């Protein structure tokens, strides 16, 4: 059964995380349909892409559980000391709140605007830094940021999509250093590797590129943060991209220099923290000048 397009199981138990996931899945289907010129299919699925709004309680600024009559579940909270929180799969409501990869600004509006959304998530990262951004004692429901499971692996890059790229630069590096560190036995993957996704996330953090929408958008872009290398070259596929190369070069590379001061794409100033996929696959050189303090004026342009 459903209420306001929020999903419930056969026992009347709300499945809020499934509502959130399906909103993204339907958006992905709509993108493919649009690309194939299937307008009827696109129209059918794109309207479901906003269903996530039905399980985020604006008053609480958080994903929540709805009862079958449409009311919000009483005595609920953003986290719980258990393996998975009621209504959420291997995660907490606090984490799932920010799983809207297809509509980041739409989510920000519900949370009170871009500044308010950034402040809320930044606060969660500050708490999560104390437990290295992964699950707490095998209790997914207790975490507010969790890089040990798929639900939360795009959280640091949400800031990029709402006009606060310096926070993506800050937290993506801290996640890399703390959650994916291989300096001791407790480092590396702090959770299930799950078909290579966690390793893929660590590789993208090292390179300083990420696709917040999962690469499913027709005009998908890469989120740019600072790579840990002086220079890195990626060989593009012979089959799809003519065997060209994509190279990232950094100036002032140092462990403390995680903030991008300025950037150039093929010699021209790049003012955005997003590099379109269609540009990247043409091949070229991305030059990044780094520093130890955030440049809040870079990355917010187009």
This prediction has a pTM of: 0.92
Domain assignment present for 282: no
Domain assignment present for 260: no
Domain assignment present for 226: no
Number of structural domains, the chain? 1
Q: What is the DSSP string of 167-219?
A: HHHHHHHHHHHHHS--SSTT-S-SS--TTTHHHHHHHHHHHTEE-TTTT-STT
Distance CA 143, CA 40 (A): 41
Tell me if 176 sits within 8 A of 187, measured CB to CB.
no
Tell me if 227 sits within 8 A of 264, measured CB to CB.
no
Residue from 69, 97, 61, 56 nearest 8 by CA: 69
Domain assignment present for 64: yes
Tell me if 161 sits within 8 A of 102, measured CB to CB.
no
Domain assignment present for 72: yes
CATH of the domain at 13: 1.20.1610.10
Say how many C-beta atoms besides its own lie within 10 A of residue 269's C-beta: 11
Say how many C-beta atoms besides its own lie within 10 A of residue 286's C-beta: 23
Domain assignment present for 11: yes
Segments forming the whole domain that contains residue 86: 2-163
Instruction: Render each residue's pLDDT in the chain as its tens digit; 302 residues.
Output: 344 444 555 444 458 989 999 999 999 999 999 999 999 999 999 999 999 999 999 999 999 998 888 889 998 899 988 877 888 888 899 999 999 999 999 999 999 999 999 999 999 999 999 988 887 667 788 899 988 888 789 999 999 999 999 999 999 999 999 888 755 545 455 666 666 677 788 889 999 999 999 999 999 999 999 999 999 999 999 999 988 999 999 999 999 999 999 999 999 999 999 999 999 999 999 999 999 999 999 999 77
Domain assignment present for 75: yes
Domain assignment present for 69: yes
């Amino acid at each position: 059964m459903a209420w306001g397009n929020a999903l419930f199981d056969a026992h009347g138990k709300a499945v809020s995380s499934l509502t959130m996931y399906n909103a993204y899945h339907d958006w992905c289907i709509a993108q493919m349909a649009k690309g194939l010129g299937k307008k009827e299919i696109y129209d059918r699925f794109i309207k479901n892409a906003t269903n996530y709004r039905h399980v985020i309680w604006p008053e609480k600024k958080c994903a929540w559980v709805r009862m079958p009559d449409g009311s919000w579940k009483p005595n609920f909270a953003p986290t719980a000391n258990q393996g998975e929180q009621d209504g959420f799969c291997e995660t907490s409501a606090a984490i799932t709140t920010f799983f809207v990869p297809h509509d980041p600004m739409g989510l920000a509006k519900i949370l009170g605007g871009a500044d308010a959304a950034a402040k809320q998530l930044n606060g969660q990262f500050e708490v999560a830094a104390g437990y290295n951004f992964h699950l707490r004692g095998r209790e997914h429901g207790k975490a507010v940021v969790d890089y040990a499971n798929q639900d939360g692996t795009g959280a640091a890059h949400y800031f990029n999509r709402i006009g606060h790229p310096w926070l993506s630069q800050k937290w993506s590096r801290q996640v890399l250093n703390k959650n994916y560190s291989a300096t001791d036995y407790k480092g590396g993957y702090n959770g299930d590797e799950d078909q290579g996704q966690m390793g893929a996330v660590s590789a993208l953090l090292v390179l300083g590129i990420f696709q917040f929408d999962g690469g499913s958008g027709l005009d998908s872009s890469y989120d740019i943060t600072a790579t840990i290398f002086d220079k890195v070259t990626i060989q593009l596929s012979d089959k799809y991209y003519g065997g060209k190369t994509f190279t990232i070069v950094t100036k002032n590379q140092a462990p403390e220099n995680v903030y991008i001061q300025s950037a150039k794409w093929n010699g021209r100033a790049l003012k955005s923290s997003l590099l379109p996929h269609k540009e990247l696959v043409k091949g070229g050189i991305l030059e990044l000048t780094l520093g130890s303090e955030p440049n809040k004026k870079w990355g917010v342009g187009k």
